[in-house]
Structures are given as structure tokens and as C-alpha cells.
């Protein structure tokens, strides 16, 4: 499969697109954030907005 054909999602924390990776093969539907940094940063970002 070519890289251009990989599915993409938008990270809710950084609002950037990220593509499918082989390590997410079994749980792509459950992946929400592009990285661990975005996943942990989200909590502090939410509190700043509210």
C-alpha cells in the first residue's frame, strides 16, 4: 500500500492530520491522538480554555 493511500485523522489536541501507522494496525479505530505528548497535553490545555 502506498503512503498516499493510508487513512488519516485529525488530532484534537494539536489539530494536525496524522496518518495510519503499522503499530496502530490492530486498534486504528481507537486511536485519537497523534502522540503521547498530545494525549497528555490535552488535559492541561482543556483547563486553560475553561
Contact between residue 33 and residue 42 where contact means Cβ atoms under 8 Å apart = yes
| CA neighbor of 21 nearest in space, from 37, 39, 9, 12 | 9
pLDDT in tens, 1-50: 676 778 999 999 999 999 999 998 899 999 999 999 999 886 555 555 54
| CA neighbor of 20 nearest in space, from 34, 6, 33 | 6
The predicted structure's pLDDT at residue 15: 92
Global pTM value = 0.69
Contact between residue 9 and residue 17 where contact means Cβ atoms under 8 Å apart = yes
CA 50, CA 44: separation in Å to the nearest integer? 10
Amino acid at each position: 500500500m502506498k503512503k498516499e493511500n493510508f487513512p488519516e485523522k485529525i488530532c484534537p489536541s494539536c489539530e494536525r492530520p496524522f496518518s495510519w501507522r503499522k503499530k496502530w494496525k490492530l486498534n486504528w479505530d481507537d486511536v485519537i491522538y497523534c502522540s503521547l505528548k498530545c494525549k497528555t497535553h490535552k488535559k492541561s490545555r482543556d483547563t486553560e480554555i475553561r
